[in-house]
Structure formats: structure tokens, C-alpha cells
Amino acid sequence: MTALFEIAEPGNGRIKEACQTAAVGIDLGTTNSLVAIVLGDGRPQAVSIDEGSTLLPSVVHYGASGEPGSVIVGRAARRLAAQFPSDTIVSVKRFMGRGSADPETLRLSPYKFASGDSGSVVRFEVARGRKVNPVEVSAEILRALRSRAEERLGIKIQQAVITVPAYFDDAQRQATKEAGRLAGIEVLRLLNEPTAAALAYGLDKKSFGTFAVYDLGGGTFDISILKLVEGVFEVKAVGGDSALGGDDFDRALATLLLGHAARDPRSVRIAIDEAKAGKERLTTEAQTQVLGRTLTRAQLEEVIRPLIERTGPACRRALKDAGLTTNNKLDGVILVGGSTRVPAVRAFVRELFGLEPLADIDPDEVVALGAAVQADLLTSDSPQHDVLLLDVAPLSLGLETMGGLAEKLVQRNTTIPTNATQEFTTFADGQTGMDIHVVQGERELVQDCRSLARFTLGGIPPLPAGLARVAVTFQVDADGILSVTAREQLTGVSQSITVKPSHGLTDDEIERMLLSSIENAEADVQARMLIDNRVEAQRILKATETQLDANGDLLSNQERSTIEAGMADLRARMALTDHHAIKDAIDRLDHDSAEFAKRVMDRGIDRALKGRSVGEFEGEVGAHAAKAYSAHVEQTTLYEDK
């Protein structure tokens, strides 16, 4: 018998048929994950998917049987964590895109890691010797979100917008996208969590305003400055720490509670779980019992104060990057993430920005709701959905040039999607290949940046140094993922790569990159100028030697001696650390060899004209002059930064 209608509790009714084709928004969180959908009336709503709650704990348990059905996700998995600490993966987001040697991997943790993987992607050893990586674990969470939402909504989910911390680097974004693909979900877009929160607050419906989004979740911290002008939602600056969040509060408190007690995996897991529960109770209570000890809110705040204060420098830097010299230029501050429930965090934000933060929407749900709004925007043709989101690249992207210099093609806080092209040339005569080394970071030297990828472009014509032209294009898509293409202009031969590093930034590495770029700015400039001048000196010496061998008969003995003395002086000064001294020697050698260079050029012209009319020669010159001049002024060489 079929019921004519169903009666359900508020929020528990099935979504109507009209919404069955809608895409969803997914917040793949460190502590909890959620899925949300925009209803027929245009309102986003989180879906109840785990024991009556919209929050699915981001916990995956791998059972001893090893069968597909033995993988448990959510609250049921969390209940098994203390009994099976090594087989139950909690807060896997903190390991996304990270290497097995990262400090984050080696911190207080009950997990077993596969041996022999130093420097490569993290792999957890779970039941029956099975080895799983963070992408696979995250895919299990996404599968659970998808299947439970499908059952709850009565629809088939194939597309989703998945949120990521604004400060996730390229490796972490790639890992998130791969997890979605592994779970059978078409990822429409990776959306920065702070931007999603702003959408959930309906800021896109305002005509203008500048807002700070303070996002402190379970495993990551983001600060974003967003500006809205007539439907264009532009992220002006981002900052944060991809290894700072509520989990660190729990670990710090657990370390205090454990003291010098034995730290076997089971006791570690119990201590962390108890610390988390105690922290949550102290949000509303003055004191509580944790592992048989009385813990006050004041004690908790003392333990976590250094962690909260770590968010301050990133916030101040983001304000500066956005061109806001004073906090009163902000129209509001939005709180995102479960950790912002902690009273000490809210007090810190209030003092830092001088504004009462907005917390009208549940901070646990706000990101998923915003992702649902963006999913609806991407799949709806309605004119009322005209809003443009412009995110930014969190760190500069570039490549290595001669001498170990980092040439930045995409500067940090550049609006994405974006692309940048720069031309490079060869350093050696007859060079037929070029090694393209892609790096990320703010420093001037490659050794101080992070290596993302390498590939080789072959097939370059064996021309004299400086004549071949290779255009390198960086393209960053709306998800913040980088693709690099190198194309030799004469032959058209090209090589491309989508940057997929094997692991992400180590703990605090992004923060270190930015701080060190500021602290070492002057030293970096001096080092760059030194390398530039050494490389230029090497080029000039090689070119002069070549011409002396080929055209030395054009010089008198005195002239040759003067040039050779200048070359010897330049070689000696190349060993110095004073770039001014090297530059002076370069200039003197240029001056002393100027007449020689003129004679060599005249000889070349005479040889070219021999047996030919002036008219013929002028015709060829006219045909190639503009092209040659264009190539000269546009070209950036591997040995000279333009």
C-alpha cells in the first residue's frame, strides 16, 4: 500500500522532485564533514546523514576482515578509535598532500606508518597489513557523504563543489580533487572555505563591502579578506596555517594530561578524545572532569593561548596585503569553524579586529552551506545567480633560472584563474634541451623555495647562446591548480605538465616561507644581484673567448693584452661576494672590447655582402629587422632577469 503523504519532523523530510538534479556542496573537514544542497526556495540546507546529525565525523575504521564492508565511517568509526587506534584514522585532512617525513606526520599520533617511504606520500598501516594513503581515506569519507545523502534525498549525486582551506597548497588541492574522483564525484570546483562562508552569509547580495573571514577549524586556520563590488566577490588576500586548528588544542591538552605516562597508541587516543570532549564542555561550563582530573576554563585557555596567538601575524599580514592599514576599514568579521566556539578564540578575534564578530550561522555548517550555494550557481542558468567569485593564489609560483634564481611568474595574492607567459633563452651554444624546474615560494633563491615539479623540453635548435626562444606559460585554474607549458618558438615543439607533487608542505612551511621572505628580503636581493652578475660575467667571458679565437687577427698586440687583462680581472672578481665589484669589471671589459666588437660586426657584414648587391641585402634586412628586434626586447634569458 502506498501512502498518500508522509509526516516527518522538521528538517527530516525528503527533498522534492524539483531538486533532484541539483549539485551539492561538500565540506570535507578535519573533524567533521558535511553535505548541503540548495532547496527549491533557494535556501541552502545541510543534510542529516549520520545518526540524525548533519555532521559526519571525519573518521574511518578499517576492520580486520579487509572486505569492503569492513570499512566504517562516521560516529560508529569514532566509537572504535580507542579500541583500535592504529586501524581508525582520525583527522586525515591534516595528512593530505604531506610527506612521511613531515613534522606533522611525526607528531603525537597513534598511527602506524608504512616503513621505507621517507619523503614520499604518507601511508597508514591498518588491519591485515593493508596500507592506505590520505587520498584513499578521504575518498571513503566522500563515498559515505555521497551514499548517505543520496539515500536521504532520494537523488543521484554525481557533481559537487568541495571546499578546501584557502592556504592549501597545490599538492593538497590535487589530493582533495583526486579523493573526489576516487569517490566517483565530479568536482565542479574546489572552493576556498572562507569564500564559501561569505556566500552562506549572503554577502553576495550586498552591493559592496570588505569582510575578514576568520576560519579556525579542526586542523587548519585561514584568514581571508574579501571585497564585494556589485556582484564581483574578490578575495584580496589570504593567509593562515595549514597545520593549526582545534586538533592542536586537543593534543596540547592531552600532552598536559598524559604528563610522563606511557604513550602507547591506545592511551594516546583516549587522552586526545577525552581532551576534545573536555574542551567542548568548557565552551559553556567553568570547569569539568577530564581523565579523573578537574580542569577549569582558565587552565584550558592558558594551554591553548600560544596556539590562538599564532593566528595573529597571519591576520595582520593579510590586512596589509589587502591594503587595509587600519582595522576599521572592515565592514565585518565572520567566524568559521568549530574551534571559533571557544570563548578565548572569540575574545582574541574581537580584540584583534576591534569588531564584534558575526556568528549567526552555525560555524560547523556555514562552509558546507556556502559550497551548496556555489554548486547551485555553477549549475543554474537563473539570472539571479549572477555573482563572480575571484580567489587568489596563496603563494608565488615560478621557475629556476641560471644560477639558482627563482623567477616568479605568478605572484602571491594574484587573482585566479590566471595565466602568465615569459620567454627564456639558452645559455650555452648548441644547447638542444632545457630543464624546467617549477618552484613555489617568496624567496629569491631556488634553494629557499619549494620544488613542485621538473620536466625537460627537448628539440631546441642548436643555435648560438641567446638566440633560441622558449615561451613558458603558467596557468592556474579556478581550483588553484597549476599547469605549465614550455614551447620553443622556432620549431613549435612543446611540453606540458599539470603539477602533481607527491607530498605537500611540511608543518609551518608556508608560514616560514612568508616570514623568511620578509626577514631576508635585503639579503635575498643582494644574493640575487651577486648571482646575476656572476652569470652575466660567465656569459661575457665565454662570448669574448669565442670571438678572440675566431677574430683575434683584428686586434693589435696591445689591444689584445688589454682585453685579456680585463678578462683576467673579471675572472678574479667572480670569486668575490661584492656584486658591485663584478659589475664594475663587466662594464670595463665591455668598454675595452667595444671597438673589437664593432670590427667583428663589420667583418660579418662584409662577408654577407660579398658577391651580392646592396639592394638584395637591404631586402633581407627589411624582412627580418622587426622580428629580430621584437625577439630581443621581449626575451628573458636563463642568465638575465629582466
Catalytic residue list contains 93: yes
> At residue 442, what is the residue type?
E
Cβ count near 511 (within 10 Å): 22
Query: Distance between CA 612 and CA 583 in Å, rounded?
Result: 42
Tell me, what DSSP letter sits at residue 296? E
Q: Which is the catalytic residue, given 27, 170, 511, 532?
A: 27
Kindly state the helix (H) or strand (E) to which residue 569 belongs, with its residue range: helix 557-573
Q: Which is the catalytic residue, given 50, 87, 93, 178?
A: 93
Region for residue 200 given its phi and psi (left: phi exceeds 0; alpha: psi -120 to 50; beta: otherwise): alpha
Torsion angle in degrees (nearest 10) through CA of 89, 91, 92, 98 = -130
Catalytic residue list contains 524: no
State how far the alpha carbon of 14 is from the alpha carbons of 5, 10, 39, 149, 153, in Å: 12, 11, 11, 10, 5
241 φ/ψ angles, rounded to the nearest 5 degrees: -150, 115
Catalytic residue list contains 27: yes
50 φ/ψ angles, rounded to the nearest 5 degrees: -145, 100
Query: Distance between CA 57 and CA 185 in Å, rounded?
Result: 20
Please provide the DSSP assignment of 381-432 as one string.
Answer: --GGG--EEEEE-SS-EEEEETTTEEEEEE-TT-EESEEEEEEE--SSTT--
Q: Which is the catalytic residue, given 193, 250, 274, 364?
A: 193
First to last CA, the chain: 79
CA angle 521, 414, 453 (to 5 degrees): 75
Catalytic residue list contains 500: no
Kindly list the catalytic residues. 27, 93, 193, 215
